[in-house]
Amino acid sequence: MNRPSLTDTQVLLLLDDCVTTAQKLEHREREARLQGHHSKAEYLLKLRLHYNAMQEALMHEIFKKGVAPDELIQRLADLDRRIGSRADPVGGSSDESLTGPT
């Protein structure tokens, strides 16, 4: 049986989610520390480190495909624009986010 694989867009969405979630967790961790909730802050730190590790693993896989860091930034920005305009979808359903147009 073949191993299921993710599409390029799914990988970008996971990466975007990891970045966003890690940022939110960092903010919540700071707030917890300021309020004296040290055990909560430690839990949030561990969770944030987990999301950072997932982010690194995803970026490693993306870079193995030959995508340069500046190209990754551009593709994430393009994805954010596409998601923001989901109310009015335009264009086809091809998945060219990491591999470019075919």
Assigned token pair, 4: 């299921």
Domain for residue 100, yes or no? no
**Max Cα-Cα span within the chain:** 54
Range of the domain at 36: 8-80
pLDDT in tens, 36-63: 999 999 999 999 999 999 999 999 999 9
Domain for residue 56, yes or no? yes
Cα separation, 24 vs 19, in Å, equals 9
User: How many domains is the chain built from?
Assistant: 1
- Which pLDDT belongs to residue 95? 46
Domain for residue 86, yes or no? no
Q: Which residues contact 6 (CB under 8 A, 6 or more apart)?
A: 14
Residue appearing with tokens 């995508």: 67
Assigned token pair, 44: 């949030």
Assess whether pLDDT exceeds 80 at residue 3.
no
Q: How many other C-beta atoms are found inside a 10 Å radius of the C-beta of residue 67?
A: 19
